[in-house]
Amino acid sequence: MKLNLVAAGVLLAFGLAAHAAPLIIKYSHVVADVTPKGQAAIKFKELAEKKLPGKVEIQVFPNSQLFGDGKEMEALLLGDVQIIAPSLAKFGKYTKQIQIFDLPFLFDDIGAVDRFQASKEGQSLLTSMSKKGIMGFGYLHNGMKQLSANVPLGMPSDAKGLKFRIQASDVLEEQFKAVGGNPQKLAFAEVYQSLQTGVVDGTENPWSNIYSKKFHEVQKYVMDSNHGVLDYMVIGNAKWWAGLPPDIQKGLTEAMNESIKFGNKVAFDEDMAFRAKVIADNKAKVLPMSKEHLKAWRTAMQPVWKKFEGDIGKDLMAAALKANK
């Protein structure tokens, strides 16, 4: 009888271990599922749960459902969410160097951004915030940003006096000040309404965000400006990560790398398709920028580079410029 009881106890313990609850991992972001980031997050869930069956459950929260801008970084550091992928414009509080990605006209195209991110200098930024409790899994593309407003923004002087929504970035603040605009830092979730109600007159975002959040329905013009990049760093809470068992770390790392590759492919392959959808909707007019327009904007942006080169470092800027072919 006693033996039977012991055996039953052992069996029960086994059963419990076999059915231990999976580790819940929350991945929160602010954009729509159809965007490169949205798709990468869904892919991560799929891959991680396949590689670590029963061991992890990935909960993806898109569209600022769980945390919006501003709150998501705090939540990560508090452990309320484990993975987020803020735009590179949103790290200014934690590191000055990552501001490099916001410098207007630094990168010729997303290919150049990709090469810089893969370089020794680019990769070193992924671990630059570890002392602050943030670990970088990798970079994830969205795309080049396009300017939009209710007037065409051909020449820099066209932006004078207009209010622009910007991400929480001091570089982007200077970018619009340099052309006489009034920049306002607003959370991504507030952009549509701010444009609709005239709180701001214009903004900047890549095609996938413009289309999926319908910004083109509340803007008269979108310029083909490609004047800067909006990419992400996928990050985790460093302490949480360090406490995970090695097999879980391995499975999650593989899933993360593959999901980033997938998201980057979406970014490369679908950017022009999102642009085409904006055009097909026929709500905002998409306008080209001539060589003369672009030259004038580039010249107007030179003071922005000067202002931030001390914080960012000339070496890093040289490495970025080298990535342009």
Which residue type occupies 305? W
* Closest approach of ligand LMR to the CB of residue 287, in Å: 21
Residue with smaller CB distance to ligand LMR, 52 or 188: 188
Residue with smaller CB distance to ligand LMR, 159 or 191: 191
Q: How far apart are CA 257 and CA 47, in angstroms?
A: 10
Q: How far apart are CA 251 and CA 52, in angstroms?
A: 6
What contacts 325, CB < 8 A, 6 or more positions away?
A: 108, 111, 112
Q: How far apart are CA 75 and CA 209, in angstroms?
A: 23
* Closest approach of ligand LMR to the CB of residue 169, in Å: 9
Residue with smaller CB distance to ligand LMR, 93 or 306: 93
Q: How many CA atoms lie within 13 A of 311 on its CB side?
A: 19
* Closest approach of ligand LMR to the CB of residue 298, in Å: 22
Task: Give the binding site for ligand LMR (CB under 6 A).
Answer: 30-31, 69, 87, 142, 167, 188, 205, 209, 230
Q: Do residues 201 and 163 make contact, with C-beta atoms less than 8 angstroms apart?
A: yes
Residue with smaller CB distance to ligand LMR, 80 or 190: 190
For 286, left (φ over 0), alpha (ψ -120 to 50), or beta?
A: beta
Q: Is 318 exposed, middle or buried (0-12, 13-18, 19+ CB in 10 A)?
A: exposed
Query: Which residue is at the shortest CB distance from ligand LMR?
Result: 87
* Closest approach of ligand LMR to the CB of residue 69, in Å: 6
* Closest approach of ligand LMR to the CB of residue 30, in Å: 5
For 138, left (φ over 0), alpha (ψ -120 to 50), or beta?
A: left
Element (H, E) at 61: strand 56-61
Q: Do residues 169 and 44 make contact, with C-beta atoms less than 8 angstroms apart?
A: no
Q: How far apart are CA 109 and CA 322, in angstroms?
A: 13
Residue with smaller CB distance to ligand LMR, 146 or 167: 167
Residue with smaller CB distance to ligand LMR, 142 or 225: 142
Residue with smaller CB distance to ligand LMR, 62 or 154: 62
* Closest approach of ligand LMR to the CB of residue 86, in Å: 7
* Closest approach of ligand LMR to the CB of residue 203, in Å: 8
